[in-house]
Structure 1
Amino acid sequence: MLSLRPLLLATPLLIGSSVGIAEEKNFAIHIPAQPLPAALESLAEQTGLKPFLVNEVAKGKISHPVNGRYSAHQALTILLQGTGLSYSFSSMDSVVIKAPEQEGDASTLPAVKVIGKAQYDADDPYNVNYNRPNASTATKTDLPIMQTPVSIQVVPKSVMNDQQSIRFEDAVINNVSGIQRSYGTADMYESFIVRGFSSGENNYRNGFRRSMGKFDVSNMEQIEVLKGPAAVLYGRLEPGGMINYVTKKALDVPYYSLQQQFGSYSEFRTSVDATGPLDRDKTLLYRFNGAFDTGNSYRDIVEHERIFIAPKLTWRPSDRFEANFELEKRHDNYMDDYGVPVSGNRPISGRRTLFTGDPAFRPSQDNTLVYADWSFKFNDDWAIRHKFQWDETDIVFGGPGPNDRVNGDGRTLGRWVITGTANRRSYGTSLDLSGKFDTFGMKHNMLVGGDWFFFNQDMPDNMFASSDWGDPINSNFDINNPRYDTIDLAAVRSIAPNWFWRSRDDWYGVYFQDQITLWDKLHIMGGGRYDMAGYGGFGDTSWEATQAGFAMQHENKFTPRVGILYQPWEWLSVYGNYVESFGSNNGRNALTGGTFQPQTAEQYEIGFKTEFFDQRLSTSLAYYHLTKDKLLTADLSTPDPQDQIAIGEARSQGIEVDIKGRITDDFSLVSTYAYTDARVTKDAGGLEGKRLLNVPEHQASLWGTYQFTEQFKVGLGGVVVGKREGDSGNSFQLPGYARLDAMAAYVISLGKTRLTAQVNVYNLLDKEYFTGSTSWLPTANVGAPLSALGSLKLEY
C-alpha cells in the first residue's frame, strides 16, 4: 500500500473505484479518532480501494472515529465530521477533500451529508449489538429467527464481553430464560437444566454433541439455545432443549486482540485472538484463540489452572467452496468441590468459604478435539455440507465427597473418597443437502441429511472408600474445625479398585425438513427423523467382568416435528409447534439383565416474537407443555424394593419471556423471565406430585448498558431466582436470592489500535446465595460473594 504522507501536497486524485461501488458497497470499517491523513490511509486499506490523495488542508485535522459497516461515501462523511472539510465524488470517479471555499468562490462545492447507521456482520469482532436476527441451531439452515416456529435464543459475544463472562455457565444462565445449572460430580463438567429437565451432561459445539465437558469461552462467537425437544435434527438428547455454542470464524480482514484480566481471589486470565488472510488472494485464512487462566477461589483451598489453544484454518478457493479445519487442546487442573453440606432441610448458611474436600487430591482433564467441515454451493439455491468431529477427554479423579447430611451432632460429616481414571471419546459426522425451490406458488427451504454418532466411556480402575464403611482412611470431617491433609493417602492407595463402568452410544439417523412459505407471511415447517440407535451402560465387580458383561440395546424410532408461523407484519410473528423426542438411556434392568426402554418426550408450544428498530431489538414470549415419559420408578410387581420399571412420567409447563437488543443507539439490554411448573406426574415410589430438583417456579434477569460517549460505557443488572427443591424427594430446599452486578468501560484510541479498560463488579450487595444442589448428594454449591474482575484489552 502506497503511503499517503509523502503525497499530501499533491492534487486530489481518483479513488480507483466507480462512484456506484463507493456509494453502494458496505465494508466493515474500524478507525479510531486520529490524525486525518492516517485515518484516510486506514480507510483506503480497509475498503480495498486505491489510496486517497489529499491536499495539505488535512494537516492538523483529527478524524471522527468510524466503527461499523458503511460504504466509503458514508465513512468519509463520518471521518470529516467536525473538521470543517468537505468532499465530493466527481464525474472522473475521484474524491476531492478540501477546505471550505471563501464566499463568492464559484468553485465552492455544496456540503454533502449522508446519514448511515452502523451495520455489522454477525462475526465482526467489533459488533456491539445484543440481538442476532439469524441462528442455525433450530433448523441447520441460516433461517431468520422471526421465520422459525420454535423458541431459539442467542447470546452473542458482545453480551459476554460486556459482562466479562469467563465461564460458559454464566453466559448461558444470566441471559436466557428458564435455565439453571445442573450439578453432577462436583464441577467436573458443565450441565444445565432447560425447561425443568437436565441436559444430561451434554452440550453442543457447532451442532455436534460434546459429552461431560468443560468449555472455554475464548473461541466462542455466540451461544444458541434451542428450547424444547431437538432430537429431530440431532439425535438422542434430553427434551428440555439443547445448548449449542458457535465458534469464531477465520476472517479475511486482519484482526488482533490481547486481553489481560485480573480479579478477586488471584484470578489471572490472559487470552489472545488473531485472524486474517495468509495469502494475497485471501483464499487461505486463519484464526488462533488461546487462553491461560489461573486463580484461587472464595472457597477455602479451591484453585484452578487452565491452558487452552484453538487454531483454525479456512480454505476458500472460490465463492462456492469452503473447507475448515479446527483443533482444540485443553488442560485443566482443579479441585472437586461439592459445595456446603445440608443440615436439616437447608444448606448450612454463613459458611460459603467452607471446603469439605482435601488439597492432597488433584483432579485433572486433558481434552483434544478435531473438527473439519467442507461445503459446496451448486448454485445460489442448492448446497451440500459435510462435517466431522473427534473429541476425547482423559480424566483423573480424586477427592472426597460427603456421605450424607451433617450428623446429629451438628458438626461432623462422613466423607467418601474416590480415585481413578476415565476415558471419554466420541466421533460424529453428518452430511446435509439443502436447497430452495418453488412449487405452485409455495417457496420451499428443504433439508435432507444423515448423521452418525459414537460415544464410549471407560472407567476401569475407580476406587471408593470411606471411614463410615470400615476403611482405615480417616475420612471424617468437622465443619466447625476444618482440617486438611488428614486423609491417609497410603491407605487409600492400598485399596484395590472397586467400582467399574462402561457406557456406549452408537446411532445412525436420517432426517428431512421442509420449510414452506406461502404469501410471504405464512411459514410451515415439517420434518422427521428415523433413528437406529444402540446404547448401553454396565458395571460389575471387576473391569474384566464389566467388559464381559457389557451389552448393547438397539432400538429404532421415528420422531416428527411440525410448526407453523404467521408473520402479518415484519415486526410480528405468531407461532406454534408440536415436537417429539427420542431420549436418553435409562440404564440396565438388574432383574432381566436387559436395558430399559429409552425415555421419550412430546411438547406443545405457542408463542409470538417481535423485532423493532430495524432488527436491533427482539422479544419473544412462549407457552409450552412438555411431558417426559418412561422414567424409572419402583416396580411394585416384585418383592425386591430395588427393582425398577420405566413407567414414570414428569411434566413441565410454563411461560418464558426474552428481550434483547438496543432500545436506542446508546442503550442496550437483555431481560428474561420464566415461570416453570415442573413436577413428577407418575411414580410408584412416592415422588408423584414432587417438584423437579433445582427448578425455581420464578426466575428473572435484567442487564443493561448505556454508552455515554464514544469512549465511556456503564452497565448494571441482576438476577432473581425463586426457591428451589434440593433433591427429588423435596426433603430440603435452596432459598431464593437476588444478585446485582455492574460494569464500566473506557476506550482509548492509540493510533490504529484501541485499548479498552473495563471493570465488572459482581454481587454488589454481597448476598449469600446457592447456585444449585448436587443431583445425588445433599449438598449445595455456593455463589460468589462481592468480587471484581478487571480487564485491559488491546485490539488492532
Structure 2
Amino acid sequence: MRTITDDNGYYSINLEDSKNHVLITNSYNTVSAVRDIPDGEQDYRLDIQLSYKSLSLPEVDITGAQPQSYNSDIAFSATRMEIPVLEIPGSVGIVTRKLIEDQQATTMTEVVRNLGGVKGGASGEAGNINEVFSSRGFSMTNSRNYFRNGVRYLKFSNDALSSIERIEILKGPASVLYGAVEPGGIINFITKPTLYTPRYGASIRYGSYDYKQAAIDLTGPINTKKTIRYRLNAMYEDADKFRKPQNSKRYDITPTIDIDLGRKTTLNLDADIFRDKRTHDPGVLHINNEIIDHGFKTFLGEPWAYGKFTNTSFGYELKHRFNKDWTFRSSARQYFTHEDRLYFQMKTPQKDSTITRRLAHWDAKINYLNLIEEISGNFTTGFIKHKAIAGVEFGRLTNRRKVKGNMYTPINYVNPVYSEKPTDFEMEQSTDLYITQNTGAIYLQDQLSFTDQLKLLIGARADWVNDKQDNYIKETKSDEKNFAISPRVGAVYMPIPSLSLYLSYSQSFVPQSGQTKDGKAFDPIRSKQWEAGIKKSFFNDRLTSSLAFYKLSKTNLPTTDPEDEEFKILIGEQTSKGIELAVSGEITPSWSVAFNYAYTHAEVTETNDKNYPVGTKLANISPSQLNLWTSYLVRGGVVKGLSFGGGWYYQGKSYGNMAQTIELDSYHIFDCFVAYKRSFYKISANLKNVFNQEYYTGSQGNNLLFPGTARTLMVMLAVNF
C-alpha cells in the first residue's frame, strides 16, 4: 500500500487488517525512515522528522528495528551527491550494516569479500599488523585510497567496524573527487549517524581462540526539541590466535554530536579514539615452492614482538541548506597517529633448518589536517537539468619516521624455540626522515539530465602536491612539486526506470619522487580507465544487479634507463582488464542475497625490464574471484525472528611475486550462521571456514606467505532498547 503527503507533509493510511505493519517513508533527498506499527492500534499517530542526506548519513534511519537489506540505492562516494546508483556511470560496491552483522565480520578483510574484484590480506613487511587491499589488479596504498565520511583517512592498522554504518567502494580512477589515489579505487567508511529517537544497544561476542569483544551503541536526542542529538559507539576486543602464541587487543571510542543551529543549518562534531596492539606474525615459510611441514600453524616470530597503532582524530562538519536546491558544506578533520612496531624481517633459510632474521623497530608519528569547502545544488538551463558540486580542498601531512635494527638470533623453523625479550640489544639507525606534504585542490562536477532517460556526468579536478623530505642520515633534502588535472566523463541511458546502460572514462594520478638522467623531475604516475556496463533493479528496487567491463592502465612507471642503468626512464605500463558481475538485495522480503564475480587479467604491457618482461602477471592478483552470501528470515509462526544462511568464497590461483616463483593455490571458504531475534534481543552464531581450509592471502618476497584464518566459531548476544 502506498500514499503521498499533502503540501504540509501530512498523510494517512487505512489499514484494514490487524497484523503488524512496517511504515517506510521515502523522499528523494532525505534519509528514508522505517517505523513499526503494532497490531491492534486505532488512530495510530507518528511524528517522523526526516534528515537530509549527506556523506555521513546512511540510506535508512531505522528506529525500533534492525537494518533490513543488503542493498542500498544511494552511494555518496561515487559523486559526493545524492544520485541513485542506477544513474552513476561507473561501478560502486556497497556493504551494508545488515550484511556485516549477518556475517559477524570483525575485520575489513572479511568485509571486502563482498566487493567484487577487491582482495584483502596482511601487508608485506608489516605482516598481520596491517591489512592491505587491492582492487582491479592494483594495490590500494595506506595513505591515499581510504576515506572516512568522504575525508581522507590514513589507514595503517586493522580497523574496528563497531561504528561503521556501511562501506562503499568506487572502483577505478577516482582523482576527480579524491585527489592523488592509486587507480584501483577508493574505500569510504560511512559511520553511524545520530537518530531522533532514543536507541540503546549493547553486544558481547565470544569465539574460538579465546576471542572476546564487548560493544555499546547509544543514540538519541539530548533536549526535548531534539535539536541536539548524540551517538556513542565503543568497543573493546581481546583475542588469541590459532598461530600460537599470539594475542591482539584493540578498542575504539567514537562520540558524535549533531546540533541544529536552525531549521536549515546543522553542525556535526565527532571524534575517534582508536588503539590496536598485536603480536607481530612474519608469516609462513615457503621453500622451493613448498610450505614447510606444519607451516600453517607454525609461528616463527617472538611472543614479545609487536605492532602498536594509536590514532586520535576529531573534526566538524557544518551543513547549511539555502533552499531545497542548494547546500553548503564545510568540514575539517585533524588526525594524530602513532605507529610503533618491534618486528622481524625474515631473511634466508639455512641448511640446518633455521632462518636468519633481523629485528627492527619502526617509530612513526604522523599528523594530518584536511579541510573541505563545497557547495552543491540543482538548477536548470533551458531543457537541461543539472546536479552540480564544486569545492576546494586543502591538506597538510607531517611524518617523523625513525627505523633501526640489527641481525638477531636465527630461529629453527621445524621446532621453533622462543627467546626472552632482549634488554640491551643494540640497533643501528637505518631511517631518520621528516616528511611534509601540502596539498591543494579545486574540483567541479555536473550531472546533466537531457531527458529522464539520458544523463551525462562530467567533472574535473586540479591538484597541487608539494612533497618535502629531510633525510637526517644521508644529510639530504628533497622538494618535489606535482600538478595534475584529472577529468571524468560518463553517459547513462535509461530506457526504463529500472534499467541503465553506461559508458565512462576517468583518470587518476599519483606523485612520484626521483629524476631522469637530465635532472628532470619525474612526472606523476598516470592512470586511465574505460568502462562500460549495465545495471538493473528488480522487485520494486529491492534487488539490484550490475555487469561491468573495464580496461585500466597505469603509465609513467619508472624502468631502467638503457643508456645508464643508474637512472630511470618513465616508459613502464601495467594494464588490467576485467569483467565484474554483482547482485544484491532481496529476492523476497525474507530471502536476501549478495553475490559477486570478478575476472581480472593484470599484466605488464610495456617495459624494458628483462626480469619482468611484457606479459608478466602482477603479483597476488587472482584471475577469478567469486563470493555468494544468502540468508532467510522467518517472519511468522512459532519461530518468527529466526534467520539462517551462509556463504561461499572462492579465490583462484595467483603468483605471489612478479618473478612468478611462488604459486598461491586456489581456495574455497564456506561459512554459515543462524540467528534468533525478538523485540529487544538477538542471539547469533557463525561458523567461519567450516571445512578448516588452509589458505594464503598473499606473500612477501620469495619465502613468506600470509595465512588465512582457520575454522572459527563466533557467538553473539545483542540487546537493543
Amino acid in the other structure paired with 1:730: Q
Partner of 1:12: none
- Equivalent of residue 122 in structure 1, options 39, 43, 60: 60
SS of equivalent to 1:552? strand
Amino acid in the other structure paired with 1:480: V
- Equivalent of residue 521 in structure 1, options 453, 457, 465: 453
- Equivalent of residue 657 in structure 1, options 561, 564, 581: 581
Amino acid in the other structure paired with 2:427: I
Counterpart CA distance in 1 for 2:100 and 2:253 is 19
- Answering whether residue 716 of structure 2 is matched by residue 791 of structure 1, we say yes
Q: How does 1:294-305 map to 2 (within 5 A)?
A: 294-305=238-249
- Answering whether residue 612 of structure 2 is matched by residue 687 of structure 1, we say yes
Q: CA deviation at 1:213?
A: 2.6
Amino acid in the other structure paired with 2:416: P
Partner of 1:79: 39
Q: CA deviation at 1:593?
A: 7.8
Partner of 2:415: 481
SS of equivalent to 2:279? coil
- Equivalent of residue 609 in structure 1, options 535, 560, 575: 535
- Equivalent of residue 344 in structure 1, options 288, 302, 305: 288
Q: Report which stretch shifted further, 552-561 or 562-571.
A: 552-561
Q: In the alignment, is the contact (CA less than 8 A) between 1:181 and 1:771 conserved in 2? A: yes
Partner of 1:699: 625
Q: In the alignment, is the contact (CA less than 8 A) between 1:536 and 1:588 conserved in 2? A: no
SS of equivalent to 1:171? helix
Q: Deviations over 1:265-319 (max 9, x none)?
A: 0000001100000001110000000000001001111210012100000011333
Q: How does 1:397-412 map to 2 (within 5 A)?
A: 397-404=341-348, 406-408=349-351, 411-412=353-354
Partner of 2:491: 564
- Answering whether residue 436 of structure 2 is matched by residue 498 of structure 1, we say no
Amino acid in the other structure paired with 2:573: E
- Answering whether residue 660 of structure 2 is matched by residue 718 of structure 1, we say no
SS of equivalent to 2:152? strand
Q: In the alignment, is the contact (CA less than 8 A) between 1:133 and 1:144 conserved in 2? A: yes
- Equivalent of residue 266 in structure 2, options 322, 325, 328: 322
- Equivalent of residue 368 in structure 2, options 402, 408, 426: 426
**TM-score, normalised relative to structure 1:** 0.82
Larger Rg: 1
Q: CA deviation at 1:564?
A: 0.2
Q: CA deviation at 1:613?
A: 1.1
Partner of 1:140: 80
Q: Deviations over 1:541-568 (max 9, x none)?
A: 36xx3xxx23221122211100000011
In terms of fraction of residues, the more helix-rich structure is 1
SS of equivalent to 1:463? strand
Counterpart CA distance in 1 for 2:121 and 2:671 is 19
Q: How does 1:155-304 map to 2 (within 5 A)?
A: 155-181=95-121, 183-184=123-124, 185-201=126-142, 202-214=145-157, 215-304=159-248
Partner of 1:448: 390
Partner of 1:587: 513
Q: In the alignment, is the contact (CA less than 8 A) between 1:536 and 1:595 conserved in 2? A: no
SS of equivalent to 1:128? coil
Q: Report which stretch shifted further, 390-399 or 616-625.
A: 390-399
Amino acid in the other structure paired with 2:358: W
Q: In the alignment, is the contact (CA less than 8 A) between 1:121 and 1:127 conserved in 2? A: no
Counterpart CA distance in 2 for 1:587 and 1:502 is 15
In terms of fraction of residues, the more strand-rich structure is 2
SS of equivalent to 1:576? strand
SS of equivalent to 2:127? coil
Amino acid in the other structure paired with 2:405: F
Counterpart CA distance in 1 for 2:76 and 2:149 is 9
Q: CA deviation at 1:236?
A: 0.2
**TM-score, normalised relative to structure 2:** 0.90
Counterpart CA distance in 2 for 1:672 and 1:407 is 44
Q: CA deviation at 1:354?
A: 1.4
Counterpart CA distance in 2 for 1:610 and 1:664 is 17
- Answering whether residue 291 of structure 2 is matched by residue 354 of structure 1, we say no
Q: CA deviation at 1:435?
A: 1.2
Q: CA deviation at 1:715?
A: 1.1
Compared CA separation, residues 457 and 767, structure 1 to 2 (3 A): same
Partner of 2:256: 312
Q: CA deviation at 1:639?
A: 4.4
- Equivalent of residue 765 in structure 1, options 683, 691, 711: 691
Counterpart CA distance in 1 for 2:554 and 2:7 is 61
Partner of 1:32: none
Counterpart CA distance in 2 for 1:121 and 1:295 is 33
Count of aligned residue pairs for this structure pair: 684
Identical-residue share of aligned pairs (%): 27
Q: In the alignment, is the contact (CA less than 8 A) between 2:105 and 2:111 conserved in 1? A: yes
Amino acid in the other structure paired with 1:170: E
Partner of 2:676: 746
Q: CA deviation at 1:77?
A: 7.3
Counterpart CA distance in 1 for 2:496 and 2:434 is 54
Q: Report which stretch shifted further, 628-637 or 215-224.
A: 628-637
Q: Deviations over 1:748-793 (max 9, x none)?
A: 34xxxx110000000111111111223x563211111111110000
Compared CA separation, residues 508 and 75, structure 1 to 2 (3 A): closer
Partner of 1:107: none
Counterpart CA distance in 1 for 2:183 and 2:7 is 55
Partner of 1:59: none
Partner of 1:377: 321
SS of equivalent to 1:160? helix
Partner of 2:704: 779
SS of equivalent to 2:306? coil
SS of equivalent to 1:143? coil
Counterpart CA distance in 1 for 2:293 and 2:114 is 24
Partner of 2:30: none
Counterpart CA distance in 1 for 2:14 and 2:502 is 36
Counterpart CA distance in 2 for 1:176 and 1:792 is 30
SS of equivalent to 1:23? coil
SS of equivalent to 1:394? strand
- Answering whether residue 500 of structure 2 is matched by residue 573 of structure 1, we say yes
Q: In the alignment, is the contact (CA less than 8 A) between 2:237 and 2:250 conserved in 1? A: yes
Amino acid in the other structure paired with 1:732: I
Counterpart CA distance in 1 for 2:280 and 2:624 is 30
Partner of 1:417: 359
Q: Deviations over 1:235-280 (max 9, x none)?
A: 0010110111111111111111100001000000001100000001
Q: CA deviation at 1:347?
A: 4.2
Partner of 1:365: 309
Q: CA deviation at 1:497?
A: 2.2
Counterpart CA distance in 2 for 1:512 and 1:590 is 34
Counterpart CA distance in 2 for 1:268 and 1:648 is 48
Q: In the alignment, is the contact (CA less than 8 A) between 2:122 and 2:706 conserved in 1? A: no
Unmatched segments (≥5 aa) in structure 2: 1-5, 27-33, 47-57
Q: In the alignment, is the contact (CA less than 8 A) between 2:487 and 2:507 conserved in 1? A: yes
Q: In the alignment, is the contact (CA less than 8 A) between 2:286 and 2:702 conserved in 1? A: no
Q: In the alignment, is the contact (CA less than 8 A) between 2:59 and 2:74 conserved in 1? A: no
Q: CA deviation at 1:321?
A: 0.8
